[in-house]
Structure 1
């Protein structure tokens, strides 16, 4: 047998393959491929507990790194973002050593398909839900990193947004481990790849734009202006220009603040907010002019008295 040593080909397991753990002796029958990331392939598998998702790779470091992230996510109170972890083990086949972990199989619609079916009003509901979970994650010192529709599933009864790949989750302050160009602020020239809340919130803004347009865009020279123009050109998305503009500009320090302003825009309060800001700016400018004139008058009076 000729073995292709590309890890993707090595991890390409045909349906019916039995994966038996070296240490825990648990058996998993491969059903079909669910997807693949930068360092492994995820399969739907059958087991004694029913259907599960099995991620396999020949990179032990990447697998253990993701296992540790799943364990940390489980500690985040109220978080349902990541799948539950069931098993971690090794497996040998044709002289190749594999590392894998088994997690909850999250069944549902991919996020893009869900929005296509339900309508754009549901995009705001899902984004608000995502921001709520991200806020808890950020408070625990983690940044999700690789936010994109392919990593997000919507389950039923009730509709809940869940993640099927935590490979990009990174400790705050470090360099982002995995990213997808379209959702990456570095690609758009609007910030670094440092793991911080603002990085995730930029990605959330791009995710929302994608959900409304159902397509991605190629970057032009002026990244920020291009994205704002895209928001303004969509009759429904324009309503959320204020929070999206702020997220794109890295102005939010917390996901909860972005969530609050996004929901305010959904209730039609954006115009009131902008009007209040404009009134405040006008009042501030008027006061500055008044003070300047008074200072000038005092200066003239003092000059004439000399």
Structure 2
């Protein structure tokens, strides 16, 4: 069975061990959101497609992501919110994410672990996979179900994986946040100490999620970007650029630029552009 529950590992707070049934940082409805809502006051993001400022900030922060050293394979944890609020755009998101992994096939050197959460306590991770077709099949096996967010479990799982073997980056795609923002920021701080940047893609414009995702990105030296149906192509290009850069660095980005990938072009410009020194 490809999807697995993560083994219970010791953490500073045993109640946060990822995938532990009935435990973890999943708040009861109506709890854990008041602090986040307070944090979000004054930080609302306007509705609509990703702004130019969002994209520029995302690309600029991508400079902090260091490709795997020569002879080493990059490791990327890719986590998805599979709660019911994402059902309307789920198929679109899966297609974009599949293209992201297909883009690194010719580059090689990237292992990906897929994660998802849904329902009251379901949160699972796959084995580490390098084959794009296998990754696509895994993603297609996941459907949406009602429940609250379990972002805390995702962060703790990334911590545990990186403690065992270096994780180069965590990518998270979701639309809301129903947990305590301070709790999530504490876990983000631990990831920062391990040098794991978090790249967050927000569907829609929920202000609580926007505030939280921006803060997690800031703490971990990662990046944040919003998307909706109107910016689907932009999201796909940025996802592809993240994966290709994680696997092969500048040379891989140059090859992707030649394929007219806008995300790769923007990222390469921030890294200094041009083919020299690639």
TM-score by length of 2: 0.26
TM-score by length of 1: 0.25
Higher RCO, Cα 8 Å, sep 6+: 2
